[in-house]
Amino acid sequence: MIDEKDISKVLNSRIDVIKSQIISGDISLLNLELNPLFQELEDNISPSNLHNYSDTYKNAFELLKQKFEELKNLLKSLDNDKILLKFIKNNNSVFFLENLLDFFQIHWKNHI
């Protein structure tokens, strides 16, 4: 622990800024290093200020949870891309694309 200073409000403010930047599309959680935030939490928490940091931990873990969700979605999309490319390579690409076009035309007309 560095000192007994309570910086939970400062950390919560940083978390709020990060959330705003994510919502606006300025940053991606996948490109953001969260370790320094958690290290500051660890360095500044003590039994005497534990109650002040519970919301800060909750907010930081929400960011971490969201980061894992983004990673999971990215990995799923990569898997889907690989599956699609493998299917196209292993099958007649022209036939596949014609069927795909037919599929979109049918479903597109149903939603117009």
**pLDDT computed for residue 89 by the predictor:** 72
**CB within 8 A of 29, min separation 6: which ones?**
22, 63, 66, 67, 70
**pLDDT computed for residue 21 by the predictor:** 95
**pLDDT computed for residue 86 by the predictor:** 74
Give the mean pLDDT per block of 10 residues along the chain (112 residues): 69 95 91 89 87 89 91 82 72 67 66 52
Please tell me the pTM assigned to this model.
Answer: 0.65
68-77 core/surface letters (b: 16 or more CB in 10 A; e: else) = eeeeeeeeee
**pLDDT computed for residue 45 by the predictor:** 87
**pLDDT computed for residue 77 by the predictor:** 82
d(CA 49, CA 76): 41
Q: Token pair for residue 20? A: 């705003």
Domain ranges of the chain: 8-111
**Residue positions counted in the chain:** 112
Selection from 47, 56, 63 nearest residue 8 by Cα: 56
**pLDDT computed for residue 110 by the predictor:** 58
d(CA 34, CA 57): 12
